[in-house]
Amino acid sequence: MGIMEKMRLDGKASFVTGGARGIGRQIAVALAEAGSDVALVDIDIAEAKKTAREIAEQTGVKTIAIQTDVTKPEEVNSMMETIVQTFGKLDAAFCNAGICMNIPCEEMTLEQWRKVIDINLTGVFLTAQAAAKQMLQQGYGSIVNTASMSGHIVNVPQPQCSYNASKAGVIQLTKSMAVEFARRGVRVNSISPGYMGTELTLNSPSLKPLIEQWNAMAPMGRMGRPEELQSIAVYLAGDTSSFTTGADFVIDGAFTCF
């Protein structure tokens, strides 16, 4: 069997949180194109259903949409029950849901701080933990958490201390889980994207004016495209990454190199 055949995900089952749009959608598309059945998990169930339907029509794999607030353990547990009932197992989990608030540190309220930390860090913990429980029972599985280059550097000029702190936490959570599960068949890695030209970023009134400045600072002179994260997602979901765990893959066009 050649390497391209080994990269296939036929017969596997995956979930992607925040899968309705943006980076999550592109990851879900990539997994499906590689042959994996996919559960799209999102707070916006209407958009998740639309995306799931489009992916199923384009790829022929089985897709489901599940409405879940990743900060609520009971909803995350229900999500996992639905996935296992539908697919019978879970091979790959992409804990991707996240938000960002650009608020100066001295002006940020505790409620605003908690919202970002709850979704970006606690939400990743809860969904990764739920996936791990199933995978540890199976004796195999791959968990991939979406971190950010913001876990390594402080972005400028936008003030986003809560986002940066949450993503640094995701990276260390990933490494901690990887070590705990290393001898039990479950791998845990993270992907740290740089600035990505998602629909949300490109159309955000608060971020759009910053894009020119980001691009001027970027070694490649541009933002990344969400589809440029697809190949690493497929690699981490599949069996060819069997010795890859505890790693953080920075996909940022060399932005963090200086």
Active site (catalytic) residues: 148, 163, 167
CA geometry: angle 74, 77, 237, nearest 5 deg: 140
Q: Which helix (H) or strand (E) holds 15?
A: strand 13-17
**Six-digit token string for 209:** 């004016």
| Partner residues linked to 224 by β-bridges | 196
Of residues 98, 75, 94, the one with CA closest to residue 36: 94
Q: Which residue's structure tokens are 């791959």?
A: 142
As a whole number of angstroms, the distance between CA 64 and CA 49 comes to 7
Of residues 8, 7, 26, the one with CA closest to residue 16: 26
Q: Which helix (H) or strand (E) holds 214?
A: helix 211-217
